[in-house]
């Protein structure tokens, strides 16, 4: 099952010529989820040829401008494109007032239903669930109410042993039940155990998104064993005092979180505009957690 992340923006509050504010698209079995929507997100979606009409769920971590100022523009463009299907937004309750004010001022009545899901402060909750994925929120430590998001792939169906299925000439109508774990009884009444007909399923995957946050051990239980962890690393560690004051993280804070959560891989981003050479941040983070990559715009990471 496809499970891949494309980074659209990796800058912190101030964008640079090369780096845009926070935004990511997570593709799970060709269902697209937008995570944060900083200024210029719709342009990045177009630039990287992402079919953003397929985005039905948008998750906004908090209401600092670099994480949501591109949202109204994107919603308006979808309106101009004639969208009619629902759009779901998950964010702090104050964002709904901002959206409504923007559209009221421009006398815009969206052609599609906008369904708003307010996040509950200081708790973890399930925001979205279908047959393939579950999305949970969890609280982060920042100057305004902020949430991280965990995307968890549900246990996949069993794989069919194609040679065995062909050998027994099992009718198509039984295949889905076999994938779900049922045994098979042929026309002569002979029973074949499910284990004879199937192979183990693909292991489930998980992606954790830790937006702006200070280091806190309270985050760890929510992201344990993530296959891919995105964590902000606004500053190098020599600016730890600045990070603590602004409730952000350094490279080593991100590495510590990844290590304590037993994450398989770490993706760092939200870089301060003061850094032109990001290789220094990568080197410092890898020194504490070797399985680290930089969040680079336009790059797709396989979870």
40-95 tens-digit pLDDT: 999 999 999 999 999 999 999 999 999 999 999 999 999 999 999 999 999 999 99
Pinpoint the residues of the chain covered by CATH 3.60.15.10: 3-156+202-302
Whole-structure pTM over 0.85, yes or no? yes
pLDDT of residue 188: 86
pLDDT of residue 155: 75
Please state whether 80 falls in left (phi above 0), alpha (psi between -120 and 50) or beta. alpha
pLDDT, tens digit, 9 for 90 and up, residues 258-274? 999 999 999 999 999 99
pLDDT of residue 101: 98
Q: Which CATH class for the 3-156+202-302 domain?
A: alpha beta
Instruction: State the DSSP H helix or E strand holding residue 185, giving kind and residue range, or none if neither.
Output: strand 184-185
Mean pLDDT computed over every residue of the chain: 95
pLDDT of residue 240: 98
Quick check: is 238 catalytic? no
CA–CA separation, 208 and 210 (whole Å):
6
- The stretches in the chain having pLDDT less than 50 are none
- Spot the catalytic one: 30, 56, 66, 276: 66
Q: 217: exposed, middle or buried (C-beta count within 10 Å: 0-12, 13-18, 19+)?
A: exposed
Please, which residues have CB within 8 angstroms of residue 16's CB and are 6 or more apart in sequence?
273
Instruction: Read off the tokens for 254.
Output: 């991100």
Rounded to whole angstroms, what are the CA distances from 47 to 37, 42, 44, 50, 51? 15, 9, 5, 8, 11
User: If you search the block for the tokens 């155990």, which residue do you land on?
Assistant: 193
Instruction: State the DSSP H helix or E strand holding residue 166, giving kind and residue range, or none if neither.
Output: helix 162-168
pLDDT of residue 154: 86
Please, which residues have CB within 8 angstroms of residue 19's CB and are 6 or more apart in sequence?
9, 10, 11, 271, 273, 297
pLDDT of residue 226: 98
């Amino acid at each position: 099952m496809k499970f891949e992340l494309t980074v659209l923006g990796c800058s912190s509050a101030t964008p640079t010529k090369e780096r845009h504010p926070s935004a990511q698209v997570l593709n799970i079995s060709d269902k697209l989820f937008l995570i944060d929507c900083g200024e210029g997100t719709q342009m990045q979606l177009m630039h990287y040829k992402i079919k953003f009409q397929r985005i039905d769920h948008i998750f906004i971590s908090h209401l600092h401008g670099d994480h949501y100022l591109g949202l109204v523009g994107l919603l308006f463009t979808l309106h101009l494109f004639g969208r009619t299907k629902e759009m779901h937004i998950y964010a702090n309750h104050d964002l709904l007032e901002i959206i409504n004010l923007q559209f009221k001022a421009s006398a815009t009545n969206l052609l599609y239903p906008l369904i708003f899901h307010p996040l509950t402060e200081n708790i973890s909750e399930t925001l979205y669930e279908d047959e393939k994925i579950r999305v949970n929120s969890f609280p982060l430590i920042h100057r305004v109410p902020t949430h991280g998001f965990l995307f968890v792939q549900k246990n996949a169906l069993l794989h069919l042993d194609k040679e065995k299925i062909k050998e027994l000439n099992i009718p198509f109508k039984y295949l889905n039940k076999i994938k779900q774990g049922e045994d098979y009884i042929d026309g002569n009444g002979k029973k074949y155990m499910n284990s004879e007909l199937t192979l183990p399923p693909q292991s489930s995957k998980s992606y954790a998104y830790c937006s702006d946050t200070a280091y806190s051990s309270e985050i760890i239980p929510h992201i344990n064993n993530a296959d891919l962890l995105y964590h902000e690393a606004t500053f190098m560690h020599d600016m730890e005092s600045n990070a603590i004051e602004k409730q952000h993280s350094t490279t080593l804070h991100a590495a510590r979180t990844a290590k304590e959560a037993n994450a398989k891989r770490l993706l760092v981003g939200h870089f301060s505009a003061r850094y032109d050479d990001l290789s220094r941040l990568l080197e410092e983070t890898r020194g504490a957690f070797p399985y680290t990559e930089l969040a680079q715009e336009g790059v797709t990471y396989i979870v």
